[in-house]
A and B are shown apart, each in its own frame.
Chain A
């Protein structure tokens, strides 16, 4: 029984991490009872499980992940969705709409639409399948999508959503963070949007430094005060830069509004209520859901390892 690394040490592939009764987890491999790193990253010991937190890497889907994707193709009863990384996802109409639905599913969502969805199945044999039958899973209208490295997403969400909630509290923005490294942001003004982007970029750049939540919180508090001071009347501006296609023409043919009471929400095409209070009451629940999913994943992982 021996561990050959310091907490959060930068390790390289092939480096011996531990020997004896330790379990190899993400970013490591076991060879003859010895555990080696398979990635460049920060080594961590949780209980008796050794893992390496990756610093780089493409997005590999996992069941239960919340992802933000762009529809690239409508094929029969399926939408093909680009979620980044090596695998293109598909979303079957049954997993997104309530029956009965029209034969032409492009009436509901069409190429170019940006959606928030959940990975409901993914294994080595068949590509990722998405579902949109969950709270908050919908077509994202307006706002913009920011891309960051998927490896940095856990830090952006923070422990139990601490980081993302802090940012929401400060900026009063609507945002969704996908595990695939995409962040959807809708802010009340361009200045606030810029500040949000700056915050996310800072977290990405400094993902592995300590006391990050406090520092970001300070920065945001300072800058938001500045924005408030300089321009009292906050106008409602949609950002231009990198903005997602906001096809408001479709809104007319949309289904009647029932956002909150919908037990099994179908992809709502009606405009999101622009009220800020909506953002406040809806979002924290979402993050909680995400945190739960993460915990479940962790459990799953430990179980898998123990089976070996």
Chain B
């Protein structure tokens, strides 16, 4: 592959980015749930040219045993890049960077998961970057979160993630590869959308206080948009599996004879 050249500008005179996006515009995103047959849960994401697949196994028995946590399940995330995912062949041994990103993704996902429901077990998340074009850690979180939901792991919420950066003095949402490499800074972030709690926040480059605050706000807005896409992708995968859901079901009368809950309701009516 020809050596990459630094583009003349990251923001054109018209205020558009190298790939023609506006500063607050994300790349086209395609999310799919249930892409792997063998995994308990899986999802893929295409974000521009970035393409990532995540597979989830478990909760299952934890090996090696010494990692066992007695009060909750262990969340083991393995982020790997395929050898062909970058312009120069990536050496297949796990790099320092991959190990770090694995840890960062685990920490970003953990606050949303009810891992205490499965003490001593493990939930394995395997993430493979098929093609990297910037923003892989955030895209990986998006996909991993969907895969966990697909595997039936109980969680507080899906986790959307996005990177906000700075190039030519302007704040940009969802950095592409060139903006990441030649820009002035990068702030990847992940949030729990309902409460706007931040589960991942990293930064390189320098930002002023005002810039960082604005960047966070832009990130939160984009995350909420992403969250909608995630919910839609998940529902799409499951509504397909349940074709005539919503029909009058023979089980509709399933609980009519359930005296206890009926009494419960009656008691409440009296209260009011």
Interface residues of A (CB under 8 A from B): 6-10, 12-15, 21, 23, 27, 29, 31, 36, 38-40, 42, 46-49, 54-58, 60, 85-88, 124-125, 127, 151, 159, 208-214, 298-299, 302, 306
Whether A10 and B156, one on each chain, are in contact in the complex, defined by CB atoms closer than 8 angstroms, is: no
Known: A86-B60, A86-B118, A302-B260. A40 touches B245 (CB 8 A): no
Q: Assess whether B258 is in contact with A58, with CB atoms less than 8 Å apart.
A: no
16 interchain pairs (CB within 8 A)?
A9-B245, A10-B242, A10-B245, A12-B235, A38-B114, A39-B155, A40-B150, A46-B261, A47-B263, A47-B265, A49-B261, A56-B40, A60-B59, A60-B118, A86-B59, A302-B264
Interface string of B143-174 (1 = CB under 8 A from A): 00000011111111110000000000000000
Contact across chains for B268 and A38 when beta carbons are under 8 A apart = no
**What residues on B are CB-neighbors of A211 within 8 Å?**
249-250
Contact call B58/A12, Cβ cutoff below 8 A: no
Do residues B154 and A38 form an inter-chain contact, with CB atoms below 8 A?
A: yes
Q: Give bound CA distance, A38 to B151, whole Å.
A: 12
B270 to chain A, nearest CB (A): 12
Shortest distance in angstroms between A54's beta carbon and chain B's nearest beta carbon?
Answer: 5
Could you tell me the distance between the alpha carbons of A14 and B235 in the complex, rounded to whole angstroms?
Answer: 13
- Chain A residues with CB under 8 Å of B59's CB are 58, 60, 85-86
Contact B241 A87 (CB under 8 A): no
- Most A Cβ at <10 Å: residue of B58, B247, B251, B265: B251
Q: Are A58 and B58 touching (Cβ within 8 A)? A: yes
Of chain B, the residue at the smallest CB distance from A10 is B238
Of B41, B231, B244, B250, the residue contacting A12 (CB under 8 A) is B231
User: Does B262 reach chain A (CB closer than 8 Å)?
Assistant: yes
Chain B nearest CB, measured from A299 CB (Å): 6
B194 within 8 A of A: yes
Q: Would you call B1 an interface residue if the criterion is a C-beta within 8 Å of the partner chain's C-beta atoms?
A: no
Residues of the B chain whose Cβ atoms lie less than 8 Å from the Cβ of A27: 154
**How many residues of B are in contact with the other chain, CB < 8 A?**
58
Dominant secondary structure at the A interface:
loop
* Cβ A86 vs Cβ B120 within 8 A: yes
Q: Are the CB atoms of B61 and A87 closer together than 8 Å?
A: yes
- Distance (whole angstroms) from the CB of A88 to the closest CB of chain B: 7
Residue B119 lies at the interface, judged by CB distance under 8 Å to chain A: yes
Chain A residue at smallest Cβ distance from B247: A210
Q: A8-B246, A38-B156 are in contact. List 12 more A-B contacts (CB 8 A).
A: A10-B238, A12-B231, A21-B268, A29-B114, A36-B156, A36-B194, A40-B149, A86-B62, A87-B121, A208-B242, A209-B242, A302-B261
Residue of A nearest to B156 (CB): A14
CA gap between A292 and B86 in the complex, in Å: 59
User: CA A242 – CA B114 in complex, angstroms?
Assistant: 35
A208 adjacent to B245 (CB under 8 Å):
yes
Q: How many Å lie between the Cα of A69 and that of B117 in the bound state?
A: 22
**B93 at the A interface (CB under 8 A):** no
Contact B58 A56 (CB under 8 A): no
Q: Count CB-based A-B contacts (< 8 Å).
A: 144
Within 8 A of A (CB), among B49-107: 58-62, 70-71, 73
Chain B positions within 8 Å of A14 at CB level = 155-158, 192-194
Instruction: Contacts A13-B158, A21-B268, A87-B121 given; indicate if A42 touches B261 (C-beta within 8 A).
Output: no
Q: Is B248 an interface residue (CB 8 A)?
A: yes
Q: Which residue of B lies closest to A211 (CB)?
A: B250
| B151, A56: Cβ atoms closer than 8 Å | yes
Closest CB pairs A-B (n = 3) = A47-B261, A14-B157, A57-B152
Distance between B17 CB and nearest chain A CB, rounded to angstroms? 31
In the complex, how many angstroms separate the beta carbon of A73 from the nearest chain B beta carbon? 14
Assess whether B14 is interfacial by the CB under 8 Å rule. no
> Are B149's CB and A8's CB within 8 A?
no
Q: Is B239 interfacial (CB-CB < 8 Å)? A: yes
Of A13, A38, A42, A125, the contact of B245 (CB 8 Å cutoff): A42
Closest to A150 in B: B152
Interface centre among B261, B263, B265, B268 (most CB of A within 10 A): B261
How long is the Cα–Cα vector from A260 to B153 in the complex, in angstroms?
42
Asked if B13 is at the interface of the complex by the 8 Å CB criterion, the answer is no
In B122-159, which residues have CB < 8 Å from any A CB? 122, 149-158
Please measure, in the bound complex, the distance between the C-alpha atom of A57 and the C-alpha atom of B248, giving whole angstroms.
Answer: 26
Asked if A86 and B58 sit within 8 Å, CB to CB, the answer is yes
Contact of A47 with B241 in the complex, beta carbons under 8 Å: no
Complex Cα distance A125/B71, Å? 8
B108 to chain A, nearest CB (A): 15
Known: A12-B234, A56-B41, A58-B58. A299 touches B119 (CB 8 A): no
Residues of B within 8 A of A15 (CB): 231
**A151–B246 CB distance below 8 A:** no
Q: Are B152 and A39 in contact (CB under 8 A)?
A: yes
Closest to B230 in A: A12
Asked whether A47 and B247 contact (CB < 8 A) given A56-B152, A87-B121, the answer is: no
Query: Is residue B3 within 8 Å, beta carbon to beta carbon, of the partner chain?
Result: no
**Inside 8 A of A214's CB, which chain B residues have their CB?**
250
Distance between B174 CB and nearest chain A CB, rounded to angstroms: 22
Contact partner, A13, options B155, B241, B242, Cβ 8 Å: B155
CA A209 – CA B158 in complex, angstroms? 27
Is B238 touching A13 in the complex (CB atoms < 8 A)? Answer: no
